[in-house]
Structures are given as structure tokens and as C-alpha cells.
Amino acid sequence: MNKVVVTGGIGYIGSHTVVSLIEKGITVVIVDNMINSNINTLDGIESITGVRPEFHDIDMTDGTLLHRFFDLHKDADAVIHFAALKAVGDSSQQPILYYRNNLFALINLIEGMQKHEISNLVFSSSATVYGTPDFLPITEDHPTKRGMSPYGNSKKIGEEIIEDTVNSAENFKAISLRYFNPIGAHPSYKIGESPNGVPNNLMPYVTQTAAGVRKELSIFGDDYNTPDGTAIRDYIHIVDLAEAHVKTVERLLEDQQKSNFEIFNLGTGQGKSVLEVIESFERMSGQKLPQKITDRRDGDVEQMYSSTERASNDLGWNSKLGLDEMTSSAWEWEKKNRKI
Ligand code: NAD
Ligand code: WQD
């Protein structure tokens, strides 16, 4: 049976991926310091899969602790590295915190893996590395740009660190996954997204507004050059995204790579506007969402959506779930989580 270490495994994307891995019969070991997550997520994972994965409360910026961890798990076949701080605005206020956390954790991880001869790494990257797109849909060959925030830049630098490592070591292989906008929750509604504090992202802000936790949703700009004037993104269901990680691990373990460092975009290929997301949410939930139009948010891109060609052809992965399934599952999770 294969064993996969999942860092950040009780976070939003990590927990859904852990479920998909366990359902494939893979043994999962989680490393997370709970800086942006809750230990109760393990109960959700156990209740869905019947398996409670081994959990280690480790701050990955502590290399000594991480090395000790790998001494126990040197038989791991691969690592999926989700652990990072991810709040874009916050990263501009506290750049060193973000660079320190995201880059020290990655460097310690790679050192630990190399010392213990674990050679397969999956990295959580982001479509933010493309900056303002030069063309649409965005392919993996689209140029990357200096991140518009320290957070985004930590992803770009992270990819470069990994690429240099792969180029320097014959037996180190990696796949970087550039996520577009993951939303939604597991259909059991036992795990989902529950950000700490005021949400930065659209979907949790929508569900929290509908739940009465926030007064109203601000729509950041309706004067974009798009059909309804609001900005367009490629929203991807979290369960589809989780499945893509299983395919990625299989590709590494079965030596199917074309090169030792590969990059895949993970999106649906469908751009949806903020108003389309709200329309879907209101229709699926039966809730009228208090909302107002405000100025554009600094640093926001007008539109971005992914080319799905490479993920479909090489990874054998295609998204299956649509926007209605995303908004309805996000709402069901919000209600269940808040006991509404
Ligand atoms: P999340 O905050 O829910 O999960 C990240 C997890 O990492 C958390 O459980 C946190 O406690 C843990 N963590 C952070 N720093 C750590 C450290 N030093 N040591 C140990 N654990 C640590 O975020 P998510 O949405 O699940 O994102 C997962 C990954 O995907 C991140 O790398 C993020 O940058 C990337 N990503 C997310 C999105 C998105 O919209 N959610 C989009 C693109 C990329
Ligand atoms: C989506 C759309 C907003 C909130 C961010 C990161 C990116 C990636 C995903 C990690 C935009 C609009 C939002 C609100 C709104 N994360 N919006 N009112 O900005 O595409 O990407 O998360 O890597 O790096 O930058 O996602 O969910 O914040 O916004 O109108 O209250 O919703 O303007 O058009 P974004 P988002």
C-alpha cells in the first residue's frame, strides 16, 4: 500500500484531498500546525472514510522537528505539500511572515525528503503566478510574473526552488499544480471551508452573508470589460480538485512524467462572473443575498480562466461538477457547520 505525507492536510484543500487518497486505499500521514485549521477536521475525515489518519502537529518552519518526523516516515512514497499561509492582503502587511512560513517550510521539506530519499513531491501552486493574463484561456506556457502580493510571489519562488532542486538531482521529481478558484464542500458536508476571521474570498463571504454572519456582500466593481461588468474567474469544485491530486500522485508513482518537473493548471476552463456566482447561489439556496456594488479591489484581475488541455491529455483529469454543485455544497456545509 502506498503511503503519502500530506502537509497542511487538515486545511481546506488538504482535507478533501486526504479523503480522496484514503478512498483510493492510500495510507495518509498528515503534518499541520493548525495555524489556519481545526483539529476537528480529523473527525470529519474519519466519519467520511472510516479511517483516522496519523496526525503530527508540527510547524514546518522548524527543520529539526520535520527531520525527526521523516525519520519515522522514511518509507513514504510521496509528499503533497499544501501547508502555507494564503491570505493575499495580509501578506502585503506582513511579507516576511509569509516568505518565512511558505519558503522555510518548503526548504525544510525538500531537505527532509532528500535526506530520507523520498523523491516525489506535489506542490500547491496558484494561478496567481500568471499575474494579469496576456491571453485566455491561460495555458501552462503562459509567462509567469512577479507575484502581485508577497503570497503570490512565495508561490512563484517556491516553484523556482523546486525546479532548481529537480534539475540538480536525478532522483527528485515534482509536479506543481496551479489552482484556479477552488470552492464548495464535500457532499457529506462533514468537511468544507471555514476561514478564520473575515473571509477574503468570494464564496465564504457569500455563504457567511447568507448565514447572517456578515451584513452584506460587496461586489468589487461592475465596470470591468466583461458581459455583466463584474470580474470573471474559473471556479473549480473542491472535490474535483481533490481527485486531481490523486491522479497527480499516481502519475509520479507510476513514472508517467514527460519531464521530472511538470506543471498543470487545475480549473474547469469556464469563466464565471461574480454576478453569475451570486445568481447560482441564490437559486440553489433559495436565499436572497444582501449585496452592494463597491469600487474595484486593488490588485484584482479582470478575468482569468484556465486551459484544461494539458490536465486532460496528460493527467487524464477533467472536472465534472458545475457551478450549481459548487454553490449549493458551499451553502449546505455553511449551514451544517453553523448548525443553522
Ligand atoms: P488552508 O489555510 O485551509 O490550508 C493550509 C494548511 O497549512 C492549514 O491547515 C495550516 O494550518 C497549514 N500550515 C500553514 N503553515 C504551516 C506550517 N508552517 N507548518 C505546518 N502547517 C502549516 O489553505 P487551502 O485553501 O487548503 O490551501 C492549500 C494550499 O493551496 C496552500 O498552499 C495555498 O497557498 C494553495 N492555494 C489555495 C488556493 C485557494 O483559493 N484556497 C488557491 C491556490 C493555491
Ligand atoms: C473572486 C472574485 C473578486 C470577495 C484569490 C487569490 C489567489 C487564489 C484564489 C490562492 C474577484 C470578487 C471577492 C468579495 C467580490 N488563492 N469578490 N467580493 O481574487 O480570484 O483569487 O484566491 O492562491 O491567489 O488572489 O479570489 O475569491 O478573492 O475573488 O466581489 O467579497 O470575487 O473581486 O473578482 P481571487 P476571490
Convert the pLDDT of each residue in 112-147 to its tens digit: 999 999 999 999 999 999 999 999 999 999 999 988
Euclidean distance between CA atoms 318 and 282, whole angstroms: 27
Return phi, psi of residue 239, to 5°. -70, -40
Q: Which protein residues touch ligand 2 with a CB less than 6 Å away?
A: 86, 88, 126, 128, 152, 181, 200-202, 205, 217-220, 231, 233, 274, 297, 300
Euclidean distance between CA atoms 6 and 320, whole angstroms: 24
Low-confidence winner among 141-150, 259-268, 301-310 (lowest mean pLDDT) = 141-150
- 105 burial type by CB count under 10 A (0-12 exposed, 13-18 middle, 19+ buried): buried
What's the mean pLDDT in 43-57? 98
Euclidean distance between CA atoms 260 and 164, whole angstroms: 11
Q: Which residue, judged by its Cα, is nearest atom 14 of ligand 2?
A: 202
Euclidean distance between CA atoms 203 and 186, whole angstroms: 15
- Name the CA dihedral angle for 266, 268, 269, 273, rounded to a multiple of 10 degrees: -110
Share the mean pLDDT of the chain.
97
**Predicted local distance difference test score (pLDDT) of residue 143:** 97
- The number of residues making up the chain comes to 340
**pTM beyond 0.85:** yes
What's the mean pLDDT in 49-73? 98
Q: Among the options 151, 179, 205, 224, which is catalytic? A: 151
Cβ neighbour number for residue 31 with a 10 Å cutoff: 29
- Name the CA dihedral angle for 245, 250, 255, 259, rounded to a multiple of 10 degrees: -20
- 103 burial type by CB count under 10 A (0-12 exposed, 13-18 middle, 19+ buried): middle
**Predicted local distance difference test score (pLDDT) of residue 340:** 87
Buried b (16+ CB within 10 A) or exposed e, 277-299: bbbbbbebbebebebeeeeeeee
Cβ atoms 7, 32 nearer than 8 A: yes
pLDDT tens per residue across span 307-339: 999 999 999 999 999 999 999 999 999 999 998
What's the mean pLDDT in 79-108? 97
151 assigned to active site: yes
C-alpha cell at 245: 491530486
Cβ atoms 84, 147 nearer than 8 A: no
Distance 50 CA to ligand 2 centre (A): 34
What's the mean pLDDT in 83-112? 97
> Atom of ligand 2 at shortest distance to CA of 183?
27
Q: Which residue, judged by its Cα, is nearest atom 15 of ligand 1?
A: 84
**Predicted local distance difference test score (pLDDT) of residue 1:** 85
**Predicted local distance difference test score (pLDDT) of residue 218:** 98
Residue 110, C-beta contacts closer than 8 angstroms, at least 6 positions apart: 121, 161, 162, 165, 172
pLDDT tens per residue across span 157-174: 999 999 999 999 989 999
Distance 264 CA to ligand 1 centre (A): 18
Cβ atoms 58, 31 nearer than 8 A: yes
Buried b (16+ CB within 10 A) or exposed e, 52-80: ebebbebbbbeeebbeebbeebeebbbbb
Confidence band, pLDDT 50/70/90 cuts, at residue 148:
confident
pLDDT tens per residue across span 193-245: 998 899 999 999 999 999 999 999 999 999 999 999 999 999 999 999 999 99
Is the C-beta atom of 10 inside 6 A of ligand 1? yes
Query: Distances in Å between the alpha carbon of 158 and those of 123, 150, 323?
Result: 9, 12, 30
Euclidean distance between CA atoms 118 and 154, whole angstroms: 23
Sign of CA dihedral 101, 192, 253, 139: negative
C-alpha cell at 286: 433559495
**Predicted local distance difference test score (pLDDT) of residue 147:** 81
**Predicted local distance difference test score (pLDDT) of residue 306:** 98
Given a cut of 90, whether residue 64 has pLDDT beyond it is: yes
> Atom of ligand 1 at shortest distance to CA of 10?
9
Query: Distances in Å between the alpha carbon of 180 and those of 12, 91, 269?
Result: 14, 19, 10
Cβ atoms 85, 151 nearer than 8 A: yes
Is the C-beta atom of 108 inside 6 A of ligand 1? no
Distance 10 CA to ligand 1 centre (A): 9
Three-state DSSP at 325 gives helix
